Amino acid sequence: MLEGCCRQQVRWTHSIRSARGAVYRLCLGGLIVGSTVALALGSARAQTQGQNQPQPQIQSPAQLQAQSSSYTQPQPATLSAVAQNTAITQYDHTFSIFHPERGQRGMVASEQRLASQVGIDILAQGGNAIDAAVGVGFALAVVLPNSAGLGGGGFMLIQTAKGTKPVALDFREVAPASASRDMYLDAQDRVLASKSTQSPYAVGVPGSVAGLARALQDYGTLSLEQVIAPAIHLAENGFIVSAVLAEQLSLQRTHLGRWPGTREIFFKHKDPSNTSCALSECSLDALTTYRAGERLIQKDLASTLRLIGQHGAAGFYQGPVAQKIVAELNLDGQILSLKDLQDYRVVQREPVHGTYRGFDIYSMPAPSSGGVHLIQMLNLLERYPLAQYGAGSAQVVHLIAESARLAYSDRAEHLGDPDFVKIPQTGLTSKKYANELAGKIKLDRATPSVMVKPGQPQGFESDQTTHFSVMDAAGNVVSCTYTLNLNFGSGIVARGTGVLMNNEMDDFSIKPGVPNAFGLIGGDANAIAPGKRPLSSMTPVIVSTQQGPMLATGSPGGARIITTVLQQLINIIDFKMNIAEAIAMPRMHHQWLPDFLRLERGYSPDTIALLQKMGHEVRIMPAMGRVQTVQRRGDLFLGASDPRNPDGAALGIGLSP
């Protein structure tokens, strides 16, 4: 009965997982209740036995990496007959509620099972983690069109088996040569609605193809034709539309339906017997988006992928594909040129690095704000005994919110493209700067954001995205986040290419003090300029110990990416959760402005009441992030895909029987 109940569909936007994973919501409620009861009993026991009980100790990196979920039976000689019988029938031998996937020769976690399978197949064929990651990236461009695509951009961390630390590949989109600081303002200096999100002017020069090709060229072992072949097959022969993708297509019907090239791919005639008008010309009322269970075929995209496989990145940035992209975007003016595409370059950068309770944390530097402010917040939180406060407690939520309030304030002032402005990155990630900022945090009271101004780190100088993580047996690790920006990007498909174009220009500061689509405020450091890369929140992470890389993680989610990844790390390091449990916990978010504390469903009324008493304006809102995590523990690989997206999957190679 319970199993049947758990299979019922739950609306995915608020739930941890829909359909087959609805049990996550049920179990998560039990996890929270159980934790609350345990904390209450622990408190009562402490009062009964006195105040001299030993406090829980934070494990060292070596201890955490060696940690095992196995259960050691007591010696039979010490058991009574009843106890022996109980031990024989015992099934509750582990504290874990959720369990990660396991593998012996590698692990892939992504937002789409089909893409994860592509990665595993490449590993099985002898490819390394970089080969698999590039294959996953191209496959996601086919099967996850609302978030990933050849017309987007992103960031990738690569740790090779022989390297001592990761390298950071920046393939973020850049503003075309025609871009100007005030391009989204009218004559009265007012922001032009939708021009930066739903028009050809929203499109930045895409970097995804160049980034994936560069990663393979520098660190892969297989040819581009080999790793791109599965994506070509998925586009050419189609794949079955999931309930999640069908819902996204339906919700974005108007957004997608305004562009002829997009109609030709994601729409069908309502009446199959009446096809008198072409999809690109029919009234939108005569069309319908693809439904769950139907096969979506993308012939034009398959042709584009084939050209890339044959000619490398030049197959995208030059020749017929480039010409069609330019023609599509320039119907309303000279927005993007062939030279913009031909001049695109991937930048290899030094990853930002910090430590947290003995672990080495590596992430992306500017123009991503993710790594900088992740480390800034970890530096602030390291001084507090979070493990003693308890996972999901009001105190922990409050401290994360106050740390985020300070970090996002700094983000608005200091972050931008380091090739155009000086970023005080070393100061922002300095523990000494965190010591100064920590004095602004009150343990029992929220600080109104109007009272929080950007700090001065210079003195310390010395919503729709996707993420995937890959590890192989040789020790190579990839953590990659890339995006079209908003759902389906600009919505524009360049006819004849199958390529959805991004709307990444909205990530610039369109006008100082005016929020973008994610409510983020920007300043002069992130102002628009030709050839400049817009600020991002993408936060791919690799965590290492003295033994080498042990974890790769990241998430989509726009402005919420940084706090989502932060909570994943805290849940693993401070609260000793396995990676599946860490992902399933309810999340919170604060970003300075607008000044409210966003919570997922799952926090108790008592916790919410305590937060409100501290001065937080609490809002319960839809689920945030879709974390993809892989972990190495000795010879064992673990993987977990966020239950907030039922299409995602972590798959291992060489699974234990």
Q: Where exactly are the structural domains of the chain?
A: 104-347+468-526, 365-465+560-632
Query: Which of 36-50, 286-300, 405-419, 461-475 has maximum average pLDDT?
Result: 286-300
Between 38-52, 402-416, 446-460, 560-574, the lowest mean confidence (pLDDT) is in: 38-52
d(CA 551, CA 553): 7
The structure tokens listed for 346 are 């991937």
Q: Are 177 and 339 in contact (CB under 8 A)?
A: yes
The structure tokens listed for 355 are 């430590």
pLDDT of residue 193: 86
Q: Tell me the C-alpha to C-alpha distance, in Å, between residue 144 and each of 136, 278, 321.
A: 11, 25, 21
d(CA 616, CA 445): 8
pLDDT of residue 27: 39
Between 57-66, 95-104, 243-252, 289-298, the lowest mean confidence (pLDDT) is in: 57-66
pLDDT tens column, 591-633: 999 999 999 999 999 999 999 999 999 999 999 999 999 999 9
DSSP secondary structure string for all residues of 499-529 = EEBP-GGGGSBSSTT---TT-----GGGB--
Q: Hey, which residues does 481 pair with through a beta bridge?
A: 155, 467
Find where tokens 């927005």 sit: 335
Q: How many C-beta atoms lie closer than 10 Å to residue 392's C-beta?
A: 23
pLDDT band at 15 (very low <50, low <70, confident <90, very high): low
Residue count (the chain): 657
Q: Say whether pLDDT at 55 is over 70.
A: no
Q: Are 154 and 208 in contact (CB under 8 A)?
A: yes
DSSP secondary structure string for all residues of 368-388 = BSHHHHHHHHHHHHTTS-HHH
pLDDT band at 636 (very low <50, low <70, confident <90, very high): very high
Mean pLDDT, residues 336-362 = 98
Mean pLDDT, residues 44-62 = 40
Q: Between vectors from CA 88 to CA 85 and to CA 94, what angle results, nearest 5°? A: 125
Q: Say whether pLDDT at 458 is over 90.
A: no
Q: Say whether pLDDT at 18 is over 90.
A: no
d(CA 251, CA 417): 33
Q: pTM for this one?
A: 0.87
Q: What number does CATH give the domain 365-465+560-632?
A: 1.10.246.130
Catalytic one among 289, 465, 497, 564?
465
Q: Is 94 a catalytic residue?
A: no
Q: Which amino acid is at 321?
A: V
Closest CA to 257 of 280, 238, 224, 290: 280
Q: Say whether pLDDT at 416 is over 70.
A: yes
Residue 537 or 39, more confident = 537
Widest CA span of the chain, in angstroms? 88
